Amino acid sequence: MGLELYLDMLSQPCRAVYIFAKKNGIPFELHTVEIFKGQHLCKEFSQVNSLQKLPTLKDGDFILTESVAILIYLSSKYQTEEHWYPPELQFRIRIHEYLGWHADYIRGTFGVPLWTQVVAPLIGVKVPEEKVARNRTAMDRTLQKLEDKFLGCKAFLISQKVTLADLMAFEELMQPMALGYKLFEERPRLAAWHKRVETFLGAELCQEAHGLLLNIMEQVANKTFPVPPPEFYPNILLRISKIP
């Protein structure tokens, strides 16, 4: 059995893994696991990954979770172009510096709109407006740090070439943008960076990876977005309760 990837294309880290594998011509078998249907909690998937998390990589008997670990594994095993994860120590450390910050600030902030605008209403929950406003303020503050600390005057976040850091950031920011947030209206440097990453990845691959996400509001309006099963409600309510 070859490489298998368990992904949900509504998940930012899953899309990053998918795009990386596709962009680098890495062959894999795709298993779609729909988080909002609670499929990651089913017995069959638990036998693959007892942590019940996505993305998940299965390479023979080797199971790997966490998107960053998966990306590094793929870049190492398949010897992808060095710009993704440069061999020079200081470049690699800069990537890890960004990814650590990303986990604390980008990941927990820019994923919130999906929960407040899509998931919560599906189960009849209204997130307080003050939480939504605080999240918007947090996004603005985080974008400023992304621009000043990591992008600066470079073409990309770490160097003059695309790295794993750019891919992770690009995918995370796509989610609120698909929901109507205009993140770069007064940030031309970040807008130019985002366009450079998109151009590098290619319009066809971006459309392939983002198709489900870009149609999400239409699905909600047409009532075709999957309604989570009742047994998944406690997980959703817990996630919503953690929004600052």
pLDDT in tens, 46-63: 999 999 999 999 999 999
Residue 76: predicted pLDDT: 97
Mean per-residue pLDDT of the chain: 94
Lowest mean pLDDT among 102-106, 208-212, 233-237: 233-237
Residue 53 confidence (pLDDT): 93
Between 183 and 216, the higher pLDDT residue: 183
What are the tokens at 141? 């503050």
In this prediction, residues 169-187 reach a mean pLDDT of 95
- How confident is residue 1, by pLDDT bands cut at 50, 70 and 90? low
Residue 24 in this model has a pLDDT that exceeds 90: yes
| Domains of the chain with bracketed CATH | 3-77 (3.40.30.10), 89-241 (1.20.1050.10)
Residue that is written with structure tokens 């151009």 in the block: 199
Interval 61-81 mean pLDDT: 97
What is the torsional sign of CA 128, 133, 137, 143? positive
Looking at residue 232, its pLDDT comes to 85
* 3-state DSSP percent of the chain in helix, strand and coil, to 5: 60, 5, 30
**Of 165, 180, 212, 169, whose CA–CA distance to 8 is shortest?**
212
Averaged pLDDT, 170-189: 95
189-193 CB contacts, 8 Å cutoff, 24+ apart: 189/147, 189/151, 190/143, 190/146, 190/147, 190/151, 193/151, 193/155, 193/156, 193/157, 193/166
DSSP assignment of 46-113 equals: HHH-TT--SSEEEETTEEEESHHHHHHHHHHHTT--TTTS-SSHHHHHHHHHHHHHIIIIIHHHHTHH
**Pairwise pLDDT comparison (220 vs 192), residue with the higher score:** 192
